[in-house]
């Protein structure tokens, strides 16, 4: 039986590179076409020696495919995706161009008016843990952002079960690869090494994704989310710590409440192949190179607050790995195909 032909638009960014790495070892699909305007004409394994043996040439235009990943920057992706959909192809978009359901949010958060608002309702937000059944039937999947992936997974059980109030604080710390490969003074080695900084204090563009998905789990009261991202001097990984006030009476006092909380989280994610609810605080190194999300829920008994810590690899579960997880669902393959490798450690 012929393998499904897949292509990558813009293979030269970090998400595109990681897609190529993971797809090359996928047993049920064949990576047949990759594009990248800045590297057009180069052999993929010459341009990225760690991908030796692929034999592909980076081109300006996509070749014949059955499913396409777009790793274009936001605003640019929507223009290339529309013709692909019209030609009958399935698409997983790693940009933000189809994540938000409200077209009016794009000028506010991304600085452009969405040219195809009619497609926003058709696109499925690609977080399998929440939208698996819809992803299976989708032609266009909007891969979540890296920060929202960790934050939503950390909070979804608590929001869904109503054990917390609407006031939520999310603190996330990301490795520098999350900023992409474009040269930037902020991510220059001499600037970023031995440094840590918060940014986007007025509101990060991933915030509306988080609010959109949490509100869909429990619409009332509308979650009031403060989200503060931080840049720290490591290459990969996101560590998210989320805080919210516990609803009185929903959990028992003391250690029994802690046991109930852990049981609630484990029950919520009991059938999820890539979410592990663990009994200790996770490290980013525990997820490096893997598609797993590690979650540890805890209670601050002094203040009556929930404190949840989640760790992911921003380039795998936060981007390329989750995109392949979505692809597997769209193609009717076992969801874990090509994604079961454990994390690299140390």
Catalytic (active-site) positions:
146
* Start-to-end C-alpha separation, the chain: 39
For residues 153 and 203, what is the distance between their CA atoms, to the nearest angstrom?
20
SS3 345: coil
For residues 322 and 145, what is the distance between their CA atoms, to the nearest angstrom?
10
Task: Show Cβ contacts of residue 92 under 8 Å, excluding neighbours closer than 6 positions.
Answer: 67, 68, 69, 70, 126, 141, 143, 323, 326, 327, 330
Contact 247, 165 (CB under 8 A): yes
For residues 242 and 306, what is the distance between their CA atoms, to the nearest angstrom?
8
For residues 144 and 152, what is the distance between their CA atoms, to the nearest angstrom?
10
For residues 16 and 72, what is the distance between their CA atoms, to the nearest angstrom?
9
Contact 107, 96 (CB under 8 A): no
Helices (H), 179-311: 189-192, 207-217, 254-268
Phi, psi of 28 (to 5 degrees): -115, -5
Helix (H) / strand (E) containing 8: strand 4-9
Decide: residue 144, CB within 10 A, 0-12 exposed, 13-18 middle, 19+ buried: buried
């Amino acid at each position: 039986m012929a393998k499904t032909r897949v292509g990558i638009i813009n293979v030269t960014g970090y998400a595109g590179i990681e897609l190529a790495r993971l797809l090359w070892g996928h047993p049920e699909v064949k990576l047949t076409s990759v594009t990248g305007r800045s590297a057009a004409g180069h052999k993929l394994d010459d341009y990225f020696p760690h991908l030796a043996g692929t034999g592909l040439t980076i081109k300006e235009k996509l070749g014949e495919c059955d499913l396409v990943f777009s790793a274009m920057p936001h605003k640019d992706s929507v223009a290339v995706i529309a013709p692909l959909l019209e030609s009958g192809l399935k698409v997983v978009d790693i940009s933000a161009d189809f994540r938000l359901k409200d077209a009016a949010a794009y000028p506010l958060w991304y600085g452009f008016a969405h040219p195809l608002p009619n497609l926003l309702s058709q696109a499925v937000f690609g977080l399998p843990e929440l939208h698996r059944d819809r992803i299976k039937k989708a032609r266009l999947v909007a891969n979540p952002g890296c920060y929202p992936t960790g934050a939503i997974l950390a909070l979804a059980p608590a929001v869904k079960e109503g054990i917390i109030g609407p006031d939520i604080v999310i603190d996330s710390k990301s490795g520098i690869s999350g900023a992409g490969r474009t040269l930037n003074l902020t991510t220059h080695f001499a600037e970023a090494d031995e440094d840590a900084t918060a940014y986007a204090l007025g509101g990060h563009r991933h915030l509306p994704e988080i609010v959109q998905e949490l509100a869909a789990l429990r619409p009332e009261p509308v979650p009031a989310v403060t989200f503060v991202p931080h840049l720290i001097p490591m290459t990969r990984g996101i560590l998210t710590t989320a805080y919210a006030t516990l609803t009185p009476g929903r959990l028992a006092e003391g250690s029994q409440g802690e046991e109930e909380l852990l049981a609630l989280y484990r029950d919520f994610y009991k059938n999820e192949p890539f979410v592990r609810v663990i009994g200790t605080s996770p490290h980013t190194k525990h997820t490096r190179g893997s598609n797993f999300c590690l979650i540890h829920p805890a209670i601050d008994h002094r203040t009556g607050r929930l404190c949840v810590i989640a760790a992911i690899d921003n380039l795998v579960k936060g981007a390329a790995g989750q995109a392949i997880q979505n692809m597997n669902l769209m193609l009717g393959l076992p969801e874990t195909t090509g994604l079961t490798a454990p994390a690299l450690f140390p």
